[in-house]
Structure formats: C-alpha cells, structure tokens
Amino acid sequence: MTPMPRDAAEDRPIEATPVLDGESFGTWLRRQREGREIELRTIAETSKISLRYLQALESDRFDVLPAPVFAKGFLRQYAGFVGLDPEEVVNFFMAARRSAEQDAGPDLAAPVPRRRGTAWIFVAGAAVLAAVLVLVIAWMARLSDASRDASQERAPEESMPRPATPRPEPPLAPAPPTPALPALPPPVTEIVPAPPARPVSVTLDFIGNCWVEVWLDGVATVAEMRVQGESLQLGAERLVEVKLGDPSMVQAEVNGRPFPIPVTGAVVRLRIDLETVRALAAGGLSDPGAGER
C-alpha cells in the first residue's frame, strides 16, 4: 500500500491528544480526525479505502474489517493523512482488538455462510400440498354423490303400499366401495434463469479475503478489499475486466454460467467480453484460462 500524502507544511506527525477515561479506540480515532477538521469521505476518496471500512474503524466494528494485515495497512494510511504516528495508532488498534476478542470469545467476526437454492423446496412443497387437497376434495365429493343416489333409489320403495301378506324382502346389497384415486405426481416446475440485465453480466462470490479492481467498458469502478461471504454483481455492454489479488478466494459466473478462474498463485486479470459470453453459451470454454490477460 502506498503511504498517504501529507500537508506540505508537516515534517513530522502531530502529537495525538491523550485517551480519555473509558474512551474506546474508534472514539479516540474519530476525535483526532474531527479535531483536525478532516472529513472521513475525503480520506476514503484519496486513499481508495472503502468508506465502510473507515466507518468500522471509528465505530469499533472489528468484525466488519478484513484480516489484521489489511486493517493495519488502512490505519497507517489513515494516520499519515490525519498527521498521527502510524505505529502508535496501529499499536492502540491491536490492543483494542485483542481486548474485544477476549470479551466476545473465539467466534468474533466469524462470517455467516450464505444459503442458496432453498426457494425451490418451498415451491415444490406448496405444489404437493395443493395436489393432496385437490384429491381429498374430489374423494369427498364422490362419497357425497354416491350417498345421494342411494337415498333416491330407496325412496320409491318406501312410498309403495305393502301387500296384505308380507313376505320377506332380500337385503339390499351394500354399495361398492369407492375406488381410491391414484396419487398424482407433484408438478415439475422448470426453473429458467432470468436473462442478464446487461449483455455481459458477471457475479463474483468471495470465499475468502481478496483485493479486487474492476473496469466496466474501460471505466474503472471498483478498487477495494472484499471479505469472505460478500458478493459483487457487475454488468457491462461490451467488456468486463477484473483484477484479483488472490484468485483462489473467488468463484465467478458469467451470465448465470460458471466461469473458470485460473489459480496461478499470483495476481490474475480477467477479460470477459461478448465473445466469452457466446463461448460459454455454446458449451463452455475449451481453455480454462480463456478470458485471462
């Protein structure tokens, strides 16, 4: 990471104000910045650090921050911009983080894995329940019709006069049981993926911490650290270019189809254009490294 530029009038760090009683690391850090009348968004735009991470630092939200090595790099840039001693700020941060981890236990900032693909289970369950209800209603309707027909057949016999000499009548044969209706298979719902919003649509799922830079149709749009559990949706008319600091921590899809990322152990830059989309639609890329530049 490149150090932040300082004011030309500063030759050494400005002495920080002492920590107040009961003051947390984030509150102390925010007080140093506000005392120098510096906006947090100004630091984010100059350093290219995500505003979300800077806000987490000033709010003691250590669970939102990436790995400590990245957080310390952010703090050094922050301290250089504000005019504080970077090592003093980093030491204060590490002490506050250790204290928070001891209070919260070993599961501090554990990312919650996302759960996908459960919607179709509810759809299939609702369809099966509807089919069972239809069968029960039809079976009850047939029983009602059979009972009404038997009553109508017995009514004329009861209204006729009996002969002088009664004779025994044969018992009525019981009505044949209503055959059980065969169970219908649940309807099969074909799930058709929605068409992409742009001709080139890319989804990046992060299974670990990874620095990412993005150009959409040649325009730079993203340059920040992404952490485990996050997802990034990208769309362009002609070309999506992605630079990954650790490609082993990323899974990609192009227009809803899996896109292989070559894992070389180094920084990878991917180039995904309309030709790449057509190749995936035709049956996949013949070369797993296709789209890499």
CA-nearest of 84, 96, 181 to 139 is 181
- Can you tell me the mean pLDDT for 101-122? 55
Contact 229, 241 (CB under 8 A): no
In a domain, 59, yes or no: yes
Domain enclosing residue 238, as ranges = 200-281
pLDDT band at 153; cut points 50, 70, 90: low
Count Cα neighbours of 86 within 13 Å in the Cβ-side half-sphere: 14
Torsion 216-218-223-229 (CA) sign: positive
Q: C-alpha distances in angstroms, 79 versus 47, 83, 85, 88, 123?
A: 11, 6, 6, 9, 53
Higher pLDDT, 195 or 100: 100
The share of the chain scoring above pLDDT 90, in percent, equals: 22
Kindly give, in sequence order, each residue whose CB lies less than 8 Å from that of residue 55, ignoring residues fewer than 6 positions away.
Answer: 40, 61
In a domain, 220, yes or no: yes
Statement: residue 269 has pLDDT above 80: yes
Query: End of a domain among 78, 104, 130?
Result: 104
In a domain, 159, yes or no: no
Contact 224, 49 (CB under 8 A): yes
Statement: residue 114 has pLDDT above 60: no
In a domain, 221, yes or no: yes
Region of poorest pLDDT, from 44-53, 171-180, 200-209, 275-284 = 171-180
- Can you tell me the mean pLDDT for 4-33? 69
Max mean pLDDT range (60-69, 198-207, 257-266): 198-207
Query: End of a domain among 104, 137, 166?
Result: 104
CA-nearest of 275, 272, 228 to 254 is 272
- Can you tell me the mean pLDDT for 246-251? 89
β-strand pairing of 231-236 with 268-273: unpaired
Q: How far is Cα 273 from Cα 204, in angstroms, rounded to an integer?
A: 16
Amino acid at 89: V
Amino acid 19: pLDDT: 76
Query: Tens digit of pLDDT for each residue in 189-219?
Result: 445 445 457 899 999 999 999 989 999 999 9
CA-nearest of 53, 43, 52 to 84 is 43
Amino acid 203: pLDDT: 94
Statement: residue 10 has pLDDT above 60: no
Amino acid 135: pLDDT: 84
In a domain, 186, yes or no: no
Statement: residue 186 has pLDDT above 90: no
Amino acid 112: pLDDT: 42
In a domain, 152, yes or no: no
pTM: 0.36
Higher pLDDT, 7 or 278: 278
Query: End of a domain among 57, 80, 104?
Result: 104
Higher pLDDT, 157 or 152: 152
Statement: residue 65 has pLDDT above 80: yes
In a domain, 243, yes or no: yes
Statement: residue 188 has pLDDT above 90: no
The number of distinct structural domains making up the chain is 2
- Can you tell me the mean pLDDT for 135-140? 82
Statement: residue 111 has pLDDT above 80: no
Higher pLDDT, 137 or 8: 137
SS (H, E, C) 90-133: HHHHHHHHHHHHHHHCCCCCCCCCCCCCCHHHHHHHHHHHHHHH
Amino acid 202: pLDDT: 93
Q: How far is Cα 36 from Cα 27, in angstroms, rounded to an integer?
A: 15
Region of poorest pLDDT, from 123-127, 185-189, 254-258, 267-271 = 185-189
In a domain, 181, yes or no: no
Domain CATH number, residue 87:
1.10.260.40
- Can you tell me the mean pLDDT for 135-156? 71
Higher pLDDT, 212 or 168: 212
